[in-house]
């Protein structure tokens, strides 16, 4: 009586499809995670404002009106104005645009370079690994901010210079993480199988090694973005990073330091934005890690 | 222990040599001629040539590097371009403030962090998690808060509004009372910045150790929770904290730079920022090198303490 239904070829060869496509499953679990949701609620509005700043009805961030200097937050200037009478709301959003761009670019560059270096060192091992690890160790012996300052001393002030300095400063950290995760999978059975089957090295790297390291590196990328924004702000606060009139969160905060007593909002409102945005990125990273690496969650619950 | 210490010290040599190489090469191979940029606008060809000679830029990169390394080994970091003092003198004058500030903040945040962590662990074992949640929240916020923002808030509240502490004026390390008043706020701010992270780690590892068999045995033999913690658990629970405190020191060093800037303290940070602006490259090199060596040394000390607390550690 049993009707024999021909199983489609695709379903038979892909056991994952029994539980629906795996990617959909991950998205599902991400959306169910409280930290991910909290992170998104914080991060998305900031990014949207920063992205669409040019088409939104903000005042020009550098338009000064000397009659309105240092006015406290009001309906017409919700974040107040600065020493030149510039609207702090539009400067803070314009600053978000620069700060977030610097953070995302620096994180993307350092993670890409770090994955390249870490993959080579971790997969090939031997003298390549010894040399790479020795160099990484030296770079990691500099306190984070100090290597950033050293590079800024060389590159000079400016947006692109900061991106370069922070990228170089973060690359060793990314490379060390990537090296560790490549090392941990180098001798897994499926890698042995690929090698036994005489798969070319580049194919093994592209098909097995890199895809398996991408999701942990995305988590790291979220943290690196937050850290890069904090480092940019710190370097700009010292006056060596992004310099006026270009607004970044760090340079706006520095601009308000001299009038901190009279007009605290100039410095502290962008500072709050910086902190809240960085918290959002950290929550996003924490939540994503819980989803893609459930072993750690079990560890915590024990 | 002595053999371990010596071998650990020997391992440091290549790292320090590497630091010297990086610091030298970054400024030497950078785009542009450091002598030209040091002299500012429109330098004469003659003055550039003189300065290039003085900075040792006329020799090749490798001989220059060997020269610089030789100098570092003798404690000679070269001469400032702007000032008449040598780089070593400039660093010698500014180093104490930075070291006092960073190590005071490190000691305070580790001690308070362990106490808070132990309290949170005790409360958690009684089913009261409020302090733990507070520490977790605090750690998340502090991870996202740059030191300079905390510094500005501290400056606004305690100096500008309340007027409790001075933030400007003459600073003399020998005058203890004055030093204490000037350093109290920056040290407190640095401590607040790293306290929660340390406390949270201490809580987690104390809770883990409290579940070990030997602690249960001690408790069943009638020891009070406090005695069991002090006599058996703490020593093992603090191992991860030691490792973290080494890493924390690196963050604190970065923090001292902005604290010195905000509270006008004559340390290595303010000197570094000033010399970067002046393009006084020999001083910049020297200061960054000293920061890195300090960081490496503190991590060596935490390693040695770790080994003392846990003799099972072997050198790889």
* ipTM for the assembly: 0.86
Percent of chain A clearing pLDDT 90 (strictly above) = 26
**3-class SS of residue A94:** helix
Query: Taking 90 as the threshold, does the pLDDT of residue A208 lie above it?
Result: no
- The distance of A267 to chain B (nearest Cα, Å) reads 8
Residue the block writes with tokens 């710190």? A234
| A 167-196 residues inside an 8 A Cβ radius of B | none
Structure tokens at B187: 């040290």
Q: What is the mean pLDDT of residues A50-79?
A: 72
Q: Give yes or no for residue A299 having a pLDDT over 70.
A: no
pLDDT bracket for residue B61 (50, 70, 90): confident
Is CATH 3.10.420.10 what the domain over A29-56+89-301 is classified as, yes or no? no
Task: State residue A70's pLDDT score.
Answer: 66
For residue B176, what are its two tokens? 């203890």
CB contact (8 A) between residue B254 and residue A264: no
CB-based contact, A282 to chain B, within 8 Å: yes
User: How many Å apart are CA B202 and CA B199, to the nearest integer?
Assistant: 5
d(CA A200, CA A88): 57
Phi, psi of A87 (to 5 degrees): -70, 120
Distance in angstroms (rounded) separating the CA atoms of residues A39 and A285: 8
The domain limits of chain A are 29-56+89-301
Looking at residue B72, what is its pLDDT? 86
Arithmetic mean of pLDDT, B65-82: 84
- Cβ-defined contact of B295 to A143 (cutoff 8 Å): yes
Cross-chain Cβ contact A264/B140 below 8 Å: no
State whether B146 and A226 contact (CB < 8 Å): no
**CA torsion A121→A127→A131→A137, rounded to 10°?**
70
- DSSP character at residue A17: G
More confident residue, A252 or B226: A252
- By Cβ distance, the residue of A138, A144, A275 closest to B19 is A138
* Least-confidence region, from A153-157, B124-128, B173-177, B186-190: B173-177
Query: What mean pLDDT is predicted for residues B182-201?
Result: 90
Q: At what angle do helices B268-278 and B281-309 cross, to 10 degrees?
A: 150
Residue B224 has pLDDT above 50, yes or no: yes
Query: What CA–CA distance (Å, rounded) separates A98 from B122?
Result: 46
CA of A133: which chain B residue's CA is closest?
B15
pLDDT at A277: 93
Residue A247: φ, ψ to 5°: -85, 125
Nearest to A154 among B27, B152, B272 (CB): B27
Tell how far CA B237 is from the center of its chain: 23
Q: For B290, which residue in chain A has the nearest alpha carbon?
A: A142
Say which range, A11-15, A131-135, B249-253, has the weakest mean pLDDT.
Answer: A11-15
C-alpha dihedral over B283, B284, B285, B290, to 10 degrees? 90
> Who among B30, B155, B276 is closest to A149 (CB)?
B276
CA-based nearest distance A273→chain B, Å: 10
Burial state string for B123-141 with b = 16 or more CB within 10 A and e = fewer than 16 = ebeeeeeebbeebbebbbe
Query: Which chain A residues touch B288 with a CB distance below 8 Å?
Result: 142, 146-147, 149-150
**Nearest CB to A154: which of B26, B147, B296?**
B26
Angle ∠(B157,B163,B166) on CA atoms, nearest 5: 100
Residue B80 is given by DSSP the state -
CA atoms within 13 A on the CB side of B296: 25
Tell the burial category of A268 from Cβ atoms under 10 Å away from its Cβ (0-12, 13-18, 19+).
Answer: middle
Round the average pLDDT of chain B to a whole number and report it: 85
pLDDT at A152: 87
Identify the structural domains of chain B with CATH numbers, from first to last.
2-73 (no CATH), 95-309 (1.10.3720.10)
Phi/psi at B7 (nearest 5 deg)?
-65, -35
Average pLDDT estimate for B273-302: 90
Q: Is the CB of residue A151 less than 8 Å away from at least one CB of chain B?
A: yes
Residues of A within 8 A of B316 (CB-CB) are: none
The beta-strand segments (E) located in chain A are: none
For residues A167-180, average pLDDT = 92
What integer pLDDT is reported at residue A102 of this predicted model? 93
Q: What is the mean pLDDT of chain A?
A: 82
Contact B144 A135 (CB under 8 A): no
Instruction: Answer whether the bond into residue A245 is a cis peptide, omega within 30°.
Output: yes
d(CA A238, CA A250): 9
Whether pLDDT at B266 is above 50: yes
The residue that leads in pLDDT, B109 or B31, is B109
Residue for token pair 């883990």: B208
Q: With an 8 Å Cβ cutoff, is A267 touching chain B?
A: yes
**Band (A1; pLDDT cuts 50, 70, 90):** very low
**Structure confidence at residue B2 (pLDDT):** 82
Is residue A302 predicted with pLDDT exceeding 50? Answer: no
Cβ(A129)–Cβ(A117) under 8 Å? Answer: no
Model confidence band, residue A297 (pLDDT cutoffs 50, 70, 90): very low
User: Is the pLDDT score of A56 beyond 90?
Assistant: no
Weakest-pLDDT range from A3-12, A113-122, B32-41: A3-12
Q: Report yes or no: A27 at the B interface, CB cutoff 8 Å.
A: no
Nearest chain B residue to A150 by CA distance is B288
Beta bridge partners of B86: B79
Number of cross-chain residue pairs from A and B with Cβ atoms under 8 Å apart: 126
Half-sphere exposure of A126 (CA within 13 A, CB side): 4
Identify the residue among A46, A131, A153 best suited for mutation to test binding to B, counting B beta carbons within 10 A and taking the highest. Answer: A153
Q: With contacts defined as CB-CB under 8 Å, which chain B residues touch A274?
A: 146, 149
Q: Which of B14, B254, B281 sits opposite A144 (nearest CB)?
A: B254
């Amino acid at each position: 009586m049993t009707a024999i239904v021909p199983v489609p070829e695709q379903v038979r060869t892909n056991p994952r499809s029994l539980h629906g496509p795996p990617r959909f499953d991950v998205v599902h679990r991400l959306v169910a995670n409280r930290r991910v949701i909290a992170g998104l609620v914080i991060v998305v509005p900031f990014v949207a404002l920063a992205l669409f700043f040019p088409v939104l009805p903000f005042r020009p961030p550098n338009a000064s009106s000397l009659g309105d200097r240092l006015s406290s937050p009001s309906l017409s200037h919700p974040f107040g104005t600065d020493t030149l009478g510039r609207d702090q709301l539009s400067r803070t959003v314009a600053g978000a645009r620069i700060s977030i761009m610097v953070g995302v670019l620096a994180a993307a560059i350092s993670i890409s370079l770090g994955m390249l270096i870490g993959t080579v060192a971790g997969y090939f091992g031997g003298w390549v690994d010894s040399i790479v690890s020795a160099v990484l160790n030296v770079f990691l012996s500099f306190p984070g901010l100090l290597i950033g300052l050293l590079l800024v001393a060389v590159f000079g002030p400016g947006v692109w210079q900061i991106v370069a300095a922070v990228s170089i400063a973060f690359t060793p950290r990314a490379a060390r993480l990537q090296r560790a995760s490549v090392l941990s999978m180098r001798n897994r059975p499926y890698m042995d199988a690929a090698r036994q089957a005489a798969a070319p090295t580049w194919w093994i790297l592209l098909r097995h090694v890199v895809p398996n390291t991408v999701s942990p590196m995305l988590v790291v990328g979220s943290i690196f973005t937050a850290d890069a924004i904090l480092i940019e702000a710190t370097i700009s606060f010292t006056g060596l990073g992004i310099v006026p009139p270009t607004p970044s969160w760090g340079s706006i905060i520095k601009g308000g330091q001299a009038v901190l007593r009279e007009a605290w909002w100039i410095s502290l409102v962008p500072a709050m934005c910086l902190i809240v945005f960085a918290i959002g990125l950290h929550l996003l990273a924490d939540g994503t890690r819980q989803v893609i690496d459930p072993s750690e969650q079990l560890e915590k619950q024990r | 222990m002595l053999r371990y210490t010596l071998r650990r010290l020997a391992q440091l040599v290549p790292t320090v040599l590497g630091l010297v190489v990086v610091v030298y090469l970054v400024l030497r191979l950078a785009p542009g001629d450091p002598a030209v940029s040091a002299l500012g606008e429109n330098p004469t060809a003659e003055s550039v040539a003189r300065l290039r000679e003085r900075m040792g830029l006329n020799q090749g990169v490798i001989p220059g590097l060997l020269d610089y390394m030789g100098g570092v080994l003798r404690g000679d970091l070269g001469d400032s371009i702007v000032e008449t003092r040598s780089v070593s003198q400039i660093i010698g004058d500014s180093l104490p403030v930075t070291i006092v500030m960073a190590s005071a903040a490190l000691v305070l945040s580790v001690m308070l962090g362990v106490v808070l962590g132990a309290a949170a662990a005790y409360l958690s074992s009684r089913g009261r998690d409020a302090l733990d949640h507070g520490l977790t929240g605090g750690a998340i916020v502090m991870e996202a808060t740059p030191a300079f923002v905390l510094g500005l808030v501290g400056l606004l509240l305690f100096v500008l509004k309340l007027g409790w502490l001075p933030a400007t004026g003459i600073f003399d390390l020998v005058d203890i009372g004055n030093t204490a008043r000037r350093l109290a706020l920056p040290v407190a701010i640095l401590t607040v910045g790293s306290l929660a992270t340390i406390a949270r780690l201490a809580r987690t590892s104390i809770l883990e150790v409290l579940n070990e068999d030997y602690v249960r045995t001690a408790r069943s033999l009638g020891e009070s929770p406090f005695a069991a913690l002090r006599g058996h658990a703490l020593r093992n629970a603090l191992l991860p904290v030691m490792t973290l405190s080494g890493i924390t020191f690196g963050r604190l060093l970065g923090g001292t730079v902005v604290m010195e800037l905000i509270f006008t303290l004559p340390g290595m940070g303010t000197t570094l920022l000033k010399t970067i602006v002046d393009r006084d490259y020999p001083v910049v090199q020297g200061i960054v090198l000293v920061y890195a060596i300090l960081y490496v040394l503190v991590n060596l000390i935490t390693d040695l303490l770790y080994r003392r607390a846990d003799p099972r550690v072997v050198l790889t």
